[in-house]
Chain A
Amino acid sequence: AQSVSQHNHHVILSEAASLELGCNYSYGGTVNLFWYVQYPGQHLQLLLKYFSGDPLVKGIKGFEAEFIKSKFSFNLRKPSVQWSDTAEYFCAVTKGQGNLIFGKGTKLSVKP
């Protein structure tokens, strides 16, 4: 079945540590890729998106993600996390005009 996999269920980091959250998808062909963030008690907000062009995309709050087509991956990175980055992060994919399919999410806890 076509799916989106996020490898880590819960990641705990100290402030200033570097972050990488994995995301793999199983769709072939052209895809649109998204990372959403959900801060505690809030709704999902778009962090960044990739449709085409430069595979390294920059989003808000210092986040970036790299699309590696050969690996079917779209990993999220941040060089130095802050306590305010504590949230749940969702990778999502659409294929063509298809619906958005979400991964199960990764909770990030940043210790001050």
Chain B
Amino acid sequence: EAQVTQNPRYLITVTGKKLTVTCSQNMNHEYMSWYRQDPGLGLRQIYYSMNVEVTDKGDVPEGYKVSRKEKRNFPLILESPSPNQTSLYFCASSSAVGNQPQHFGDGTRLSIL
């Protein structure tokens, strides 16, 4: 089954404790992206990757890092999480950017205390 898998689904942690949210897709997609979803703000792009070893900032990249060492994986790293990063995070992938629909993971709800 074609899917985008995120882990963990839920995480409560404390300020400053490094965390990684993993994202993996099994569709051989070149394009992957991370979004955060906040009430009243919709989805905002954090980082995206056009292909292996190619990443770029989205609209709200501050406080986040990503890597794309393999085509299928695109982890999101919070080196020193802060409470304003409490949010619902979605990973997405598509075969191309632009005119191809994106496939979304189930989401990761992060609470930073």
Q: Inside 8 A of B107's CB, which chain A residues have their CB?
A: 43
Chain A window 69-99, contacts with chain B (Cβ cutoff 8 Å), 1 for yes, 0 for no: 0000000000000000000001000101111
Q: Do the beta carbons of A32 and B99 come within 8 Å of each other?
A: yes
Interface size on A, residues (CB 8 A): 22
**Chain A binding surface SS class:** loop
Q: Inside 8 A of A51's CB, which chain B residues have their CB?
A: 99
Interface size class of B (residues with CB under 8 A): 20 to 34
Give the docked Cα–Cα distance between A111 and B109 (Å): 28
**Chain B binding surface SS class:** loop
How far is the CB of A52 from the nearest CB of chain B, in Å?
9
- Tell me if A63 is interfacial: C-beta within 8 Å of chain B: no
Q: Do the beta carbons of B42 and A100 come within 8 Å of each other?
A: no
Q: Pick the 4 closest A-B CB pairs, nearest first.
A: A104-B42, A97-B98, A43-B104, A102-B43
**6 pairs of residues in contact across A and B, judged by CB atoms under 8 Å:** A43-B104, A43-B106, A101-B45, A102-B42, A102-B44, A105-B42
**Interface residues of A, Cβ cutoff 8 Å to B:** 9, 32, 34, 42-46, 49, 51, 90, 94, 96-105
